[in-house]
Amino acid sequence: MRWTAGPRSANLEDRRGQRMGGALPKMGIGGFLLLAILSFVFKTDLFSLLGGGAATTGAPVEQGPLATTPEEEEMVKFVDFVQKDAQDVWAQTFTQQGEQYPPAGLVLFRDATQSGCGVGQSAMGPFYCPADQKVYIDLAFYQELQNRFGAPGDFAQAYVIAHEIGHHVQNVLGLSDQVREAQQRNPSQANELSVNLELQADCFAGIWARSTQQRDLLQSGDVEEALSAASAVGDDRIQSQSGGGVNPETWTHGSAQQRSTWFRRGFESGSIESCDTFQARG
């Protein structure tokens, strides 16, 4: 991807030098997603119940010197460029429709940090918290994306950010609230509705990717990198890697094929209307 570092965005919050005190509950991505869905449905911060609440509310935060490398600082610049570029694109889209787009914040952290949705941990992977309208990411995830999931490349990394910004767009449009209400009415469909929401965020990421093509920011192989990343984090792939059986009924993000299909649909159409995952199946 062609990109140029600029001044650090006001939307970027760097907490990499912070450390949370207290004993943090250990939770994998599966447990986090389950609690996220239940918290979403019942409008209750179930994360705060972990460890008696000591680790998730009011936990002491220690600020120390930031140990970093030139390579990591270059990654910070890249992530900042992508989130700003994606949000600029969405701001223009909203303006064209006579609406305003309030930008999301992006928080960089290591190991664990407090969010409006409870404690965010590296094991959860990148996530968006609608309560504080911020995206959270530990940059170590990108190494995992390459080594564990086999999805290297800068545009694979850009896809991850664009997907999370897509969740913010859903929140601004009121789509997240609609899904939460539908989940409350039909708890048995909570997972299916969660999958639809995630696939739509993939489609929104594709819309941003299309804009980069139109502005000649794409390089050879970039789209393939994003498609590979979307497939790599499909629920079926993750379940297979975990050594268990593949169970579609427990999916929260969609299969590898679904995720890559919806990213491509957004990339090819460039329109929000084409991203109605609730009426169509990819």
Q: What is the pLDDT of residues 64-88, one digit of tens each?
A: 778 899 999 999 999 999 999 999 9
Please classify residue 44 by burial: count the beta carbons closer than 10 Å to its beta carbon, then call 0-12 exposed, 13-18 middle and 19+ buried.
Answer: exposed
pTM for the model: 0.86
The confidence score (pLDDT) of residue 56 equals 43
Please give the Cα distance from 79 to 220 (Å, whole number): 20
Write down the domain spans for the chain: 12-272
- Backbone torsions φ then ψ of 120, nearest 5 degrees: -95, 135
Helix or strand holding residue 20 (H, E): strand 18-20
Under 8 Å between Cβ of 123 and 28: yes
- Backbone torsions φ then ψ of 133, nearest 5 degrees: 55, 50
**Structure token pair of residue 195:** 């999958």
Answer yes or no: is pLDDT of 50 > 50: no
**Structure token pair of residue 102:** 């309030």
The confidence score (pLDDT) of residue 45 equals 47
Under 8 Å between Cβ of 251 and 173: no
- Please, what is the average pLDDT of the chain? 87
Give the CATH number of domain 12-272. Answer: 3.40.390
Of 278, 266, 230, 226, nearest to 93 by C-alpha is 266
**pLDDT tens per residue across span 137-185:** 999 999 999 999 999 999 999 999 999 999 999 999 999 999 999 999 9
